[in-house]
Structure 1
Amino acid sequence: MGLFDQILGAVTNPNQQGSLGQLGGIINTVQQLSDRTGADASTIQSVLGIVGNYVRSSLQEKQATNGEGEVQTLVNQYAGTSPNPQAVDSLFSFGMQQQVAEAVAQRTGLDAGTIQQLLPLIVPVVLNFLQSGANAQSGSNSVLNTFLDADRDGDVDIADAIRMASQYLGR
């Protein structure tokens, strides 16, 4: 099952945190990023996808080192739609932040400095998507597990999930 299918499952499952309001907040944030940068929504979705891949690598590393519980705690602590520099710092060293910004700039044409300034908003949005699968009863998170599952075909992409959520919500 793909990431977006997991997110939709979380939205329709009352035991999981996902909701249409949460998806709407994420889509609104993507639109605000688009307005703020002057880039179209598809470019911002690409930015989120590229940053999402770096987030996945960082979370996989943390999971291997500290366990699944710490990764879920980090997601719960920093997920949102408001800027949070601590979210970025918890996942990336300063050098890695620069590397992420440069990689995004090369692939999207946006300014690396602008991307670095936007990371405190982009990272919490990615984590917000991942938080949607948290199940209060079991403590598991189907969305996060799908996102981190390196044994699958690698076809897990935040940009695709945002694009599908936008279409699903008719925005």
Structure 2
Amino acid sequence: MANAEIILTASIPNLGAEADIVKVRRGYARNFLIPQGKALEVTPTALRKINHLRAIRAEREAREVTAAEELASKIGKLNLSFTLETGETGKAFGSVTSKDIHDRLVKELGIDLPKHAVDLDRSIKESGDHEVPVKLHPDVTGKLRISIVTPKVETEDAEGAEEGAKARKRTAKS
């Protein structure tokens, strides 16, 4: 149950970011991380290299945050509209899911956005205006406004429809 200290050369979910020094199980380091090029053993040479990796990571993260903030401002100005069919009682058929929102957002902005970026707790089934968070970066979340509209169903006067049906039956019998 010995642990090894390693320097990550790539970000690994639930473990650490690039240039972090972490302790992992020796077998995980020896058999997976180091052969895959995702980590280095902690040595004096590697410790000097870590400063270079940290500088590169800081520059890259600054660019990513700036790009994410610009995209968040574009998303904040956008208002997407979705149509849901409703029955006679006004209950919606179907819902608007995070996948629907993601697909429409990618189509509207022409960007490559991860599928999990649209952070919708549950599908939207109610008509009206909604605000949906879009996670663009761990530090940047944009707010997308969407409108759910239901088409106006043209309903005839129920009594008028019944009378029209009765009149058609009478003329058919004669």
What TM-score results when the alignment is normalised by the length of structure 1?
0.22
Greater Rg by CA: 2
What TM-score results when the alignment is normalised by the length of structure 2?
0.21
Q: Which structure dedicates a bigger proportion of its chain to helix?
A: 1
Q: Which structure dedicates a bigger proportion of its chain to strand?
A: 2
